[in-house]
Structure 1
Amino acid sequence: MEVPKDLTSYVRVLKLASTPSREEFMQVSFIAGAGIVLVGLIGFIIFVIMAFMPGGV
């Protein structure tokens, strides 16, 4: 592992990175939020199904 080589690659990546525009940020936030809600909904549906099964929760 060559430390100077690693540092230069990190600096190069940081130079290429840019702050997202408000539109990009809102789109990513919406998609991430929708994913969180979807996973929660699936978990809730599984919980409801298990609660009504004999010997469930």
Structure 2
Amino acid sequence: MDVKYDLTSYVRVLKLASTPSWEEFSQIGLIAGAGIVLVGFLGFLIYAVMSFLPGGV
């Protein structure tokens, strides 16, 4: 385990990273929010179907 090599690779990655612009940040937020809503809606549909089936929840 070469600690010096690991640290230099971490520093190199941090130097390449940049702060996103407001437009990029808001677009990522919208996409992530849409994914969360979609997964929640899918879970609700599964719960609704299972509650109507005999022996469901």
Give the TM-score normalised by structure 1.
0.97
Instruction: Show the counterpart of 2:23.
Output: 23
Structure 1 residue ranges without an equivalent (≥5)? none
What CA distance in whole angstroms lies between the structure 2 residues aligned with 1:6 and 1:48?
50
Deviations 1:2-21 (A, max 9, x none): 00111000000000000000
Aligned residues: 57
> Would you say 1:34 and 2:29 are equivalent positions?
no
Which structure 1 residue ranges, 4+ long, deviate > 4 Å from structure 2? none
Give me the identity figure in percent: 72
- Cα deviation for residue 43 of structure 1 reads 0.3
Give the TM-score normalised by structure 2.
0.97
The Cα RMSD (Å) is 0.4
- Cα deviation for residue 34 of structure 1 reads 0.4
